[in-house]
Amino acid sequence: MRTRQATSRQQEMVFRTWGGRREGAGRKPTGGRAGVPHLRREGLSPSHPVHVTLRVRKEVWSLRSRRCFRQIERAFIQSRERFGMRLTHYSVQGNHLHLIVEAAGERALSRGMQGLCIRIAKGLNRTMQRKGKVFADRYHAHILRTRAEVRNAVRYVLQNVHVHARRAGRKVATGMDRYSSTSADPAAVAPPRTWLLRVGWGDEAIA
């Protein structure tokens, strides 16, 4: 009888193991290292534009160079209206891009952005004569549901070069930014279809 009880207790013992990576172990990245969380994206209505931000890796050349921008603009022209996604406004900064897009839904946005990112990455890698990843993380998407949100987002995107200049304490250049949809090739964007982008956000001039 004692033998059976001892055997039973031995079978129920849990032995600790040491070493090796445990799921969820380690410090969690913060700040710039945290990236875009891999969470389910918000539901997207075809009536709502989206503000998309894309950031490139540190080793990628400045996007505001003629060679790099030429590849980005070419990708915009080829992808401005594909897979149910339309690119209507954009601004290219040194290490990131701001886009205003319309999409038929979440799947259309995902497919459209995937195709655009592939074209940009191939073009930039060809220019830099390198291989490997170009973008630092997934794209960040903010759905614009109100007139005020759309107005603020469009202004922010088209005036982004001035925003960064003021933050850095540099002189703010006057006129349109040649690395944005205000003055670059008009073939790189598609005319908006949503009411919010066509009419709702207001007709104030962007300067």
Cβ(86)–Cβ(80) below 8 Å: yes
Token pair 């601004």 is found at: 91
Q: What is the pLDDT along the chain (207 residues), one digit of tens a residue?
A: 555 554 444 444 443 434 444 444 455 454 444 454 544 556 899 999 999 999 999 999 999 999 999 999 999 999 999 999 999 999 999 999 999 999 999 999 999 999 999 999 999 999 999 999 999 999 999 999 999 999 999 999 998 877 776 766 677 666 788 899 998 899 999 999 999 999 987 755 443
% helix, strand, coil for the chain, step of 5: 40, 15, 45
- Neighbour count for residue 6 (Cβ, 10 Å): 10
Secondary structure tally for the chain: helices H, strands E:
6, 5
Beta strand 140-143 with 50-55: parallel, antiparallel or unpaired? antiparallel
Domains with residue ranges and CATH for the chain:
43-200 (3.30.70.1290)
Note the pTM of the prediction, 2 decimals.
0.76
